[in-house]
Amino acid sequence: MTKILILGGTTEARALAEALSGRDDLAVTVSLAGRTASPVPHPVPVRTGGFGGAEGLAQYLAAERVALLVDATHPFAARISRHASMACAAAGVPILRLVRPEWVAGEGDRWTAVADGPAASAALGPAPRRVFLALGRQELAPFASAPQHRYVVRSIEPVDAAPFADAVFIRARGPFDVAAEERLFREHGIEVVVAKNSGGGASDAKLAAARRLGLPVVMIARPPPEGEAVADVATALAAIDRALRRETVSRF
Ligand code: NAP
Quote the ligand 1 centre to 210 CA distance (angstroms): 29
Which residue has its alpha carbon closest to ligand 1 atom 9? 80
What is the pLDDT at residue 248?
62
Q: Per the confidence metrics, is the pTM higher than 0.85?
A: yes
Q: How far apart are CA 252 and CA 250, in angstroms?
A: 6
Which residue has its alpha carbon closest to ligand 1 atom 6? 80
Digit-coded pLDDT (tens) for 218-247 = 999 999 988 889 999 999 999 999 998 887
The residue count of the chain comes to: 252
Quote the ligand 1 centre to 45 CA distance (angstroms): 18
Give the nearest ligand 1 atom to 82 CA: 3
Digit-coded pLDDT (tens) for 85-112 = 999 999 999 999 999 999 999 999 999 9
Quote the ligand 1 centre to 35 CA distance (angstroms): 8
45-75 residues labelled b (16+ CB within 10 A) or e (exposed): eeeeeebeebeebbbbbeeeebbbbbbbbbb
Residues with CB under 6 A from ligand 1: 7-10, 31-33, 35, 50-53, 56-57, 73-74, 76-80, 83, 136
Q: How far apart are CA 49 and CA 240, in angstroms?
A: 25
Give the percent of the chain with pLDDT over 90. Answer: 85
* Cα–Cα separations (whole angstroms), residue 57 to 24, 29, 108, 174, 194: 25, 14, 45, 30, 34
Digit-coded pLDDT (tens) for 178-197 = 999 999 999 999 999 999 99
Digit-coded pLDDT (tens) for 156-183 = 888 888 888 889 999 998 899 999 999 9
Quote the ligand 1 centre to 218 CA distance (angstroms): 24
Cβ atoms of 94 and 123 within 8 Å: the answer is no
Q: What is the mean pLDDT of the chain?
A: 94
- Please, which pLDDT band fits residue 70 given cuts at 50, 70 and 90? very high
Cβ atoms of 195 and 117 within 8 Å: the answer is no
Quote the ligand 1 centre to 77 CA distance (angstroms): 5
Please check the confidence at residue 252 and state whether its pLDDT lies above 60: no
Cβ atoms of 207 and 103 within 8 Å: the answer is yes
